[in-house]
């Protein structure tokens, strides 16, 4: 696929503006009005073509993304999230932070508090793991629903619900859970979260089960 088609262009070949790749020689002597009009027409044609190409090569919207592309993006994001939130793997804080961009603004809202930078978000995740995560015995992160809306080839929104059955330090069955909406953007070939909102489910016997 050519670079132009990757950007959603209407043309199969890479467009180039009028004059690119051509050599013009200075004209000497008399130029007839007819020849002058021809050059003016050619110049205007090049300008109009460049304008058309600039609009045709804009980012592809959701309506331009095929069903197969949407499914591939959704499946890729689901696999990324499920794999990252596998609590059986080591170093959970760094693994969770791998979902976010290494630099720039990251908006995260949870528990009535909003953070806007990566360091703030990392401190919040570290605090959760220190005071909650480390006290869970045999935790399993289970996704009870996961919906992905693809906005473009490089943008998508995921809304999901989850539950974490586990044992307390006293050996009692306990479950926490919530809902999570995350806005993903593809940067440098990698999907990262640029905005998110989490809401915890209050203690509810309906979501509790034996681990």
| DSSP-assigned states of every residue in 120-146 | HHHHHHHHHHHHTGGG-BS---EEEEE
DSSP 3-state assignment of 163?
strand
Reference 19, options 55, 57, 45, 53; nearest CA is 45
Reference 198, options 176, 180, 177, 171; nearest CA is 180
DSSP 3-state assignment of 185?
strand
Residue 100 near residue 193, CB atoms below 8 Å = yes
Per-residue pLDDT of the chain (211 residues; tens, 9 = 90+): 444 444 443 333 333 333 344 343 444 455 555 655 565 555 555 554 544 444 445 555 667 899 999 999 999 999 999 999 999 999 999 999 999 999 999 999 998 999 999 999 999 999 999 999 999 999 999 999 999 999 999 999 999 999 999 999 999 999 999 999 999 999 999 999 999 999 998 755 444 443 3
Would the pTM count as exceeding 0.85?
A: no
Radius of gyration of the chain (CA): 27
Backbone angles phi, psi at 125, to 5 degrees: -65, -40
Question: What dotted CATH number matches 65-207?
Answer: 3.10.450.50
DSSP 3-state assignment of 118?
helix
State how beta strands 107-110 and 190-200 pair.
Answer: parallel
Residue 111 near residue 124, CB atoms below 8 Å = no
DSSP 3-state assignment of 193?
strand
């Amino acid at each position: 696929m050519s670079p132009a088609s990757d950007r959603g262009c209407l043309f199969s070949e890479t467009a180039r503006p009028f004059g690119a790749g051509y050599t013009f020689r200075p004209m000497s002597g008399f130029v007839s009005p007819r020849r002058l009009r021809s050059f003016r027409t050619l110049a205007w044609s090049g300008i109009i073509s460049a304008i058309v190409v600039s609009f045709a090569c804009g980012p592809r919207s959701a309506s331009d993304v095929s069903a197969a592309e949407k499914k591939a993006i959704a499946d890729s994001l689901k696999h990324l999230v499920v794999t990252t939130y596998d609590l059986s793997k080591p170093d959970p804080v760094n693994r969770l932070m791998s979902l976010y961009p290494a630099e720039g603004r990251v908006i995260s809202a949870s528990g009535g508090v909003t953070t806007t930078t990566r360091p703030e978000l990392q401190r919040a995740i570290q605090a959760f793991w220190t005071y909650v995560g480390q006290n869970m015995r045999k935790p399993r992160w289970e996704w009870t629903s996961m919906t992905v809306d693809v906005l473009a080839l490089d943008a998508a929104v995921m809304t999901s619900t989850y539950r974490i059955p586990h044992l307390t330090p006293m050996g009692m069955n306990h479950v926490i859970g919530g809902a999570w909406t995350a806005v993903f953007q593809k940067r440098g070939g990698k999907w990262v979260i640029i905005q998110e909102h989490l809401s915890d489910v209050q203690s509810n016997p309906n979501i509790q089960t034996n681990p």
